[in-house]
């Protein structure tokens, strides 16, 4: 009978920030219970950070703190990477894998850019790479894509995968705030970074969309393949118009595997107030998965925050520690397809376009003519919106004219809008939002 290995599984932690410190807390405070679940003890053997003297958490032993990140990365059984970024993180993750350690990470930017390289390195070294916290915070979505649904064919996914933008849009909707005011409120409450560009411009959601598409469709989809539109152009007028039509604005990540190929996109969209995604408030996230056999699935929960994200990280640590205790590895990430990427005009949608116009006879007819000439069918018109600013040199009021189209492709829609904007009675910048069916 083989003798049981009761030596501790050594864990190295790279990063002691918001998520890293909470991860360390869970590992230390729940050590005995985690050992019971794993079947072997675990031991935090090193915590790497830029300024060890500035780290002061009662649950982190000072003797574990070091600025020698490479030493921690290459002297553990499981390395947890929570330093963020791509260049430096890639170096340490690959070093850990090549040193025979399995890696747990929450780094969506790293995986969206270098995922296939990292997955291959893990497989080549006979170790694992886990990253549940990289998409959706505490929501278990990555493992279902890797394991639970691997026997099915996923056709599409869409959802709210960035808590910062969802909080801002929710505040604009429920409190009537302007974008800038809602952003400052999010920053004051810790929901947005001092530099919120990655969130509000949609890049954070785009990284997650790339990961989701890669896992779901078993083909390489990188951040460079994702088309991105953020929420910085969403105004209080857009929110008011949506509310008048019993809709809400949400920033969505949408990935699809259709006849024209794979697509991954991030954009703000109008959804009906009765749609399940409309009830996703604050910093919560939700992801819809459509599969051929399983049909529709929805995953919902906290999408950000130190403790929720740390929960997902430690869950991955326990999973990998169990593999080590059992002398095995987990399933690899099969990327056996080389699917084409769908052109931008392959997908059709309904659009809501809001123009600022000089209120005089013939305006609506002229705009409708441009839509007809470009082959875009109009589904509805709403001119009963509040007046906005005055236009210098024009004595009358500026009115808002909102047009909702039938299905059309994005390229045709933008050509149509560009033509309308050249009309002498159209002023300002139009607002364009997709309408989720």
Tokens (6 digits) for 281: 């408030």
Catalytic residue (choose from 208, 386, 415, 422)? 208
State how beta strands 348-358 and 398-405 pair. Answer: antiparallel
Q: Is 427 annotated as a binding residue?
A: no
Contact 241, 385 (CB under 8 A): yes
Distance CA 404, CA 435 (A): 8
Task: Give the CA angle between residues 15, 18, 22 to the nearest 5°.
Answer: 85
Q: Is 39 annotated as a binding residue?
A: no
Tell me which DSSP letter residue 358 carries: E
Q: 289 vs 19, 151, 175, 212, 416, CA distance in Å?
A: 27, 14, 31, 10, 33
**According to the annotation, is 14 in a ligand binding site?**
yes
Is 16 a known ligand-binding residue? yes
DSSP summary character for residue 125: T
Q: Is residue 18 annotated as involved in ligand binding? A: yes
Q: What one-character DSSP code corresponds to residue 144?
A: I
The token pair at 126 is 């006979």
Sign of the alpha-carbon torsion through 359, 365, 366, 370: positive
- Give the largest Cα separation in the chain, rounded: 94
Rounded to an integer, what is the distance from CA 212 to the centroid of its chain?
9
Residues contacting 52, CB < 8 A, separation 6+: 62, 65, 66, 67
**Residue 21, marked binder:** yes
Could you tell me which of 115, 343, 317 has the C-alpha nearest to residue 211?
Answer: 115
Among this protein's residues, is 208 annotated catalytic?
yes
Known binding-site residues for NADPH equal 108
Known binding-site residues for L-homoserine equal 193
Known binding-site residues for NADP(+) equal 14-21
Q: Which residues are catalytic?
A: 208
Known binding-site residues equal 14-21, 108, 193
């Amino acid at each position: 009978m083989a003798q049981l290995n009761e030596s501790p599984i050594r864990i190295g932690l790279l990063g002691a920030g918001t998520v890293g410190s909470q991860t360390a807390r869970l590992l230390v405070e729940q050590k005995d219970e985690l050992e019971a679940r794993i079947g072997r003890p675990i031991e935090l053997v090193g915590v790497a950070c830029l300024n060890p003297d500035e780290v002061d958490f009662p649950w982190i032993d000072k003797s574990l703190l070091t600025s020698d990140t490479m030493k921690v990365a290459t002297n553990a059984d499981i390395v947890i990477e929570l330093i963020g970024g791509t260049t430096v993180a890639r170096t340490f993750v690959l070093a850990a894998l090549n040193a025979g350690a399995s890696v747990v990470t929450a780094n969506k930017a790293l995986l969206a850019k270098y995922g296939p390289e990292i997955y291959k390195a893990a497989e080549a070294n006979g170790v694992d790479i886990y990253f549940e916290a990289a998409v959706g915070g505490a929501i278990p979505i990555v493992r279902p894509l890797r394991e639970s649904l691997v026997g099915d064919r996923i056709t599409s996914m869409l959802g709210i995968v960035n808590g910062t933008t969802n909080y801002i849009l929710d505040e604009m909707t429920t409190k009537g705030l302007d974008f800038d005011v809602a952003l400052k409120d999010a920053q004051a409450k810790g929901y947005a970074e001092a530099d919120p560009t990655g969130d509000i411009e949609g890049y954070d959601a785009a990284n997650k969309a790339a990961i989701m598409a890669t896992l779901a469709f078993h083909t390489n989809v990188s951040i460079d393949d994702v088309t991105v539109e953020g929420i910085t152009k969403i105004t209080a007028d857009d929110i008011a118009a949506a509310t008048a039509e019993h809709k809400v604005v949400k920033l969505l990540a949408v990935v699809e595997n259709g006849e024209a190929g794979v697509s991954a996109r991030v954009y703000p969209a109008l959804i009906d107030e009765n749609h399940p995604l409309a009830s996703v408030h604050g910093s919560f996230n939700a992801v819809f998965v459509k599969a051929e056999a399983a049909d529709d699935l929805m995953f919902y929960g906290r999408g950000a925050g130190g403790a929720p994200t740390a929960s997902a990280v430690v869950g991955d640590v326990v999973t990998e520690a169990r593999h080590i205790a059992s002398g095995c590895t987990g399933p690899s990430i099969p990327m056996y397809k080389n699917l084409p990427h769908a052109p931008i005009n392959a997908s059709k949608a309904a659009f809501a376009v809001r123009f600022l116009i000089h209120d005089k006879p013939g305006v609506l007819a002229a705009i409708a003519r441009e839509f007809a000439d470009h082959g875009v069918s109009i589904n509805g018109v709403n001119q009963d919106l509040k007046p906005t600013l005055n236009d210098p040199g024009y004595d009358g009021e500026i009115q808002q004219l909102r047009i909702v189209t039938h299905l059309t492709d994005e390229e045709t829609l933008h050509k149509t809008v560009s033509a309308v904007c050249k009309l002498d009675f159209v002023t300002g910048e139009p607002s364009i939002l997709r309408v989720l069916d």
